[in-house]
Amino acid sequence: MIPFNKPYLTGKEMHYIYQAVYSGKISGNGLFTKKCQRLFEEHYGFKKALLTTSCTDALEMCAILAEIKTGDEVIMPSYTFVSTAIAFVRQGAKIIFADSRNDHPGIDENKIEELISSKTKAIVPVHYAGVACNMDKIMDIASKYNLLVIEDAAQAIDSAYKGKALGSIGHMAAFSFHETKNINAGEGGLLAINDERFIRRSEIIWEKGTNRAEFFRGEVNKYGWVDTGSSFLPSEIIAAYLWAQLENLENIQTKRKKIWEKYYNGLSEWAGKNGVRLPFIPDYATNNGHMFYLVCKTAGQRSDLIKRLKDNDILAVFHYLSLHKSNYYKDIHGDRKLENSDFYTDNLVRLPLYYELEEQDIDNIIKTITLK
Ligand SMILES: *Cc1c(COP(=O)(O)O)cnc(C)c1O
């Protein structure tokens, strides 16, 4: 059986976990946490990087930092994971869902402005498949209406928009190290802050509403309760695991992109003949090999394809049921149609993509797909 995903182990994870465990400090914000955070700040230019226990947590921190409150509106694509929305809904926001692009599941930057009202506080672009949204356009709209931009960069590690790292463009950003992502820690995430106004408060919210981080740096002589917050920081055990992955970042990315290219080249001709679309990468974006997907012509074509793969012991999956049609939100959203979002919901399928996927497995998958 070729699974859909298999988390990659670099081989150093247990070594660093052992070090963390026997260092005598296994709670959060220790040596490995600092090493990981420094790497992100230096490598990608984030002004502040804070490890979190998930991307969902990092998004929740963004919603708190953005001071989202009941009645505020937040614009985001409907074709995304629940976490993108739920972080803001918990703060009382109303989500205003925008449609996806015709040529890519990312938010259609030309359909954002018409959704802005006096209640809008933030735009949350999601870099689907690690492929950048049109950030110049989105940042322009945000500055015109004085809105915050929070990048859901869950899938976007090591990817860029016009040469700028994703996650470094908006006021803040959230990354995921869930086991399905390129760099994983089982469960894990990162908050990236690019607007200095939010740095001090981000550390406080991270540390249960206390100024403990300042205390540890010797900036204050005692620490206490100064704000709201939660326990958003992961233990050193998770940071140690993540460090092993980050040391192998380049190798992991190179391998994934190679697999992606092999799929692309092997499926182009078949896709053209069968009206199936391959992933589209705009000129301004890079590919980080996070995901290889196909957009079928019809839902029937997709279910046939998934079945054919399954009959050949290959697991392909689809995902993202448009959030505007979810049981939880459909009544609040109302009838406003989001045709592209629904189209991807019905027609997009993801192929297996993981570090240890062998050349012969990829050949086998391509053959199974193109035989018909
Ligand atoms: C994976 C993912 C998340 C959630 O990440 P967690 O680390 O599991 O909380 C959020 N948004 C998008 C777009 C994702 O792909």
CATH code of the domain containing 126? 3.40.640.10
Q: How many structural domains compose the chain?
A: 2
Q: Do 194 and 340 fall within a single domain?
A: no
83 lines ligand 1 (CB under 6 A): yes
Range of the domain at 48: 13-247
Q: Do 128 and 238 fall within a single domain?
A: yes
Please choose from 107, 124, 155 the residue to mutate so as to test ligand 1's pocket, defined by most ligand atoms within 8 A of CB: 155
Q: Do 132 and 271 fall within a single domain?
A: no
Q: Do 37 and 90 fall within a single domain?
A: yes
Domain of residue 340, CATH code: 3.90.1150.10
Rounded CA gap, 119 and 124, in Å?
Answer: 15
Q: Do 234 and 260 fall within a single domain?
A: no
Q: Do 205 and 313 fall within a single domain?
A: no
Rounded CA gap, 280 and 357, in Å?
Answer: 22
What pLDDT sits at residue 253? 98
* Rounded distance from Cα 117 to ligand 1 centre (Å): 27
Which one, of 334, 318, 354, 331, lies nearest residue 79 by Cα? 318
Rounded mean pLDDT for each run of 10 residues along the chain, 372 residues in total: 96 98 95 98 98 98 98 98 98 98 98 98 98 98 98 98 98 98 98 98 96 92 95 98 98 98 98 98 98 98 98 96 98 98 98 97 98 78
Two structure tokens written together for 27: 């709670």
Q: Do 126 and 168 fall within a single domain?
A: yes
* Rounded distance from Cα 82 to ligand 1 centre (Å): 8
Please choose from 54, 80, 81 the residue to mutate so as to test ligand 1's pocket, defined by most ligand atoms within 8 A of CB: 81
* Rounded distance from Cα 37 to ligand 1 centre (Å): 19
100 lines ligand 1 (CB under 6 A): no
Q: Do 275 and 192 fall within a single domain?
A: no
Residue appearing with tokens 């003949």? 273
Tell me if 343 is assigned to some domain.
yes
CA R_g for the chain = 21
* Rounded distance from Cα 249 to ligand 1 centre (Å): 19
CA distances from 185 to 233, 235, 241, 284, 370 (A): 13, 11, 6, 29, 35
Rounded CA gap, 322 and 24, in Å?
Answer: 46
What pLDDT sits at residue 313? 98
Q: Do 163 and 204 fall within a single domain?
A: yes
Bridge partner list, 77: 98
For residue 306, the one-letter residue type is I
Q: Do 333 and 352 fall within a single domain?
A: yes
What pLDDT sits at residue 351? 98
How many C-alpha atoms does 239 have within 13 Å on its Cβ side? 27
Q: Do 120 and 193 fall within a single domain?
A: yes
Tell me if 293 is assigned to some domain.
yes
Q: Do 363 and 283 fall within a single domain?
A: yes
The domain boundary residue, chosen from 212, 247, 282: 247
126 lines ligand 1 (CB under 6 A): yes
What pLDDT sits at residue 77? 98
* Rounded distance from Cα 175 to ligand 1 centre (Å): 7
81 lines ligand 1 (CB under 6 A): yes
Q: Is the dihedral of CA 54, 152, 50, 39 positive or negative?
A: positive
Residue 189 CA: nearest ligand 1 atom is: 7
178 lines ligand 1 (CB under 6 A): yes
What pLDDT sits at residue 372? 66
Which one, of 252, 253, 316, 319, lies nearest residue 287 by Cα? 253
The domain boundary residue, chosen from 226, 247, 268: 247
352, 314 Cβ separation under 8 angstroms: yes
Tell me if 40 is assigned to some domain.
yes
The domain boundary residue, chosen from 247, 263, 281: 247
